Amino acid sequence: MSTHVIEARGLTKRYGAATAVDGIDFAVGAGEIFGLLGPNGAGKTTTILMLLGLTDASGGSVRVLDMDPQRDPLAVKRVLGYLPDAVGFYDHLSARDNLAYTARLLGLDASERQRRIDAALARMRLSEVAERRVATYSRGMRQRLGLAEIIVKQARVAILDEPTSGLDPQSTEEFLELIRSLKRDGVTVLLSSHLLEHMQRICDRVALFRAGRIALMGSVAHLARQVLGGGVAVEVQAAGPDLQRHLAAVPGVRAVTALAPDRYRLLADGDVRAEAARVVVAAGGALTQLSVEQPSLDAVYNRFFNAAAAAKEPAHGQA
């Protein structure tokens, strides 16, 4: 009996000669929000489909709540809720009828169905539009309806594929909050997305996918230390002559890069904002802004993929 809710070992998926997922290992603990990150085509959705038992793995093993989705898919799918990328509903049916259909597929009896659907619609704030045809729903409402389906199912694990892409900022905010409320209910959430900012705010841990492999895995802070290196990045916006040289002379600064004519980025051992301000002013520059960059997933991601691309170039040159 493992303590992990989802556990993948050496999971591999090949389509003919192409390898979509190449021997990945990861484990998701109970009540965790775990993010799968990576560019399109990196193998995120394929991984999810293997977790659901909707695609056969070519190699390796998956366990979901200690069950094998390849061998016992019905039992797995009973406890696992899935919100696909760009989820679709039967447009000619109302939201309630759509939920009723999936609830019937779960084998719930009429009164239980009614109770769960009412509760889920209320929680997703869809009660008032529940009788409207889904054709009239906005994208945000459809996503919430998808989440309502997972709630009706009382899933212990929710798998959400690109849940926030294409949502307006307000809907996104709402939706992230709803995902957090799932976590509070003790649901384990597996998210896939390429929207880093959203992932950073909600995920406990993330796995970075690249070309079918997990390149990095851990909490955002952990990844930042690993990829960006230790130290603090300070951004200085100031106009003045020869500021780059002056800033480089500030004690503790390891490197200065000019991002734009009047913007510089300092990589330092500590917070050097006060010292940098003094130097700029002393050099006769006009200081307009000074900020410490929080280690962001964005930075980690860009740095990681740029570094990987750069490392690849010479290899191509030799070949």
| Residues found near other proteins in the complex (CB under 8 A) | 45-46, 49, 52, 54-56, 70-75, 77-78, 80-84, 86-92, 101-102, 104-107, 146, 149
Q: Least separation, in Å, of the C-beta of 212 and other proteins?
A: 15
- How many angstroms separate the CA atoms of 26 and 242, rounded? 49
Q: Least separation, in Å, of the C-beta of 25 and other proteins?
A: 21
Nearer to other proteins, 80 or 117 (CB): 80
Q: Which two tokens stand for residue 319?
A: 């070949």
- How many angstroms separate the CA atoms of 188 and 205, rounded? 12
Q: Least separation, in Å, of the C-beta of 53 and other proteins?
A: 9
Nearer to other proteins, 45 or 193 (CB): 45
- Tell me the angle at which helices 297-318 and 220-228 cross, rounded to the nearest 10 degrees: 40
Q: Least separation, in Å, of the C-beta of 145 and other proteins?
A: 10
Q: Least separation, in Å, of the C-beta of 19 and other proteins?
A: 15
Q: Least separation, in Å, of the C-beta of 64 and other proteins?
A: 12
Nearer to other proteins, 159 or 208 (CB): 159
Q: Least separation, in Å, of the C-beta of 271 and other proteins?
A: 47
Q: Least separation, in Å, of the C-beta of 87 and other proteins?
A: 6
Nearer to other proteins, 56 or 185 (CB): 56
Q: Whose CA is closest to 94, among 71, 119, 67, 117?
A: 117
Nearer to other proteins, 42 or 52 (CB): 52
Q: What is the 3-class SS of the chain, one letter each residue?
A: CCCEEEEEEEEEEEECCEEEEEEEEEEEECCCEEEEECCCCCCHHHHHHHHHCCCCCCEEEEEECCECCCCCHHHHHHHEEEECCCCCCCCCCEHHHHHHHHHHHHCCCHHHHHHHHHHHHHHCCCHHHCCCEHHHCCHHHHHHHHHHHHHHHCCCEEEEECCCCCCCHHHHHHHHHHHHHHHHCCCEEEEEECCHHHHHHHCCEEEEEECCEEEEEECHHHHHHHHHCCCEEEEEEEECCCHHHHHHCCCCEEEEEEEECCEEEEEECCCCHHHHHHHHHHCCCEEEEEEEECCCHHHHHHHHHHHHHHHHHHHHHHC
Nearer to other proteins, 54 or 308 (CB): 54
Q: Least separation, in Å, of the C-beta of 119 and other proteins?
A: 19
Nearer to other proteins, 45 or 172 (CB): 45
Report the first-to-last Cα separation within the chain, whole angstroms. 48
Nearer to other proteins, 56 or 177 (CB): 56
Nearer to other proteins, 81 or 295 (CB): 81
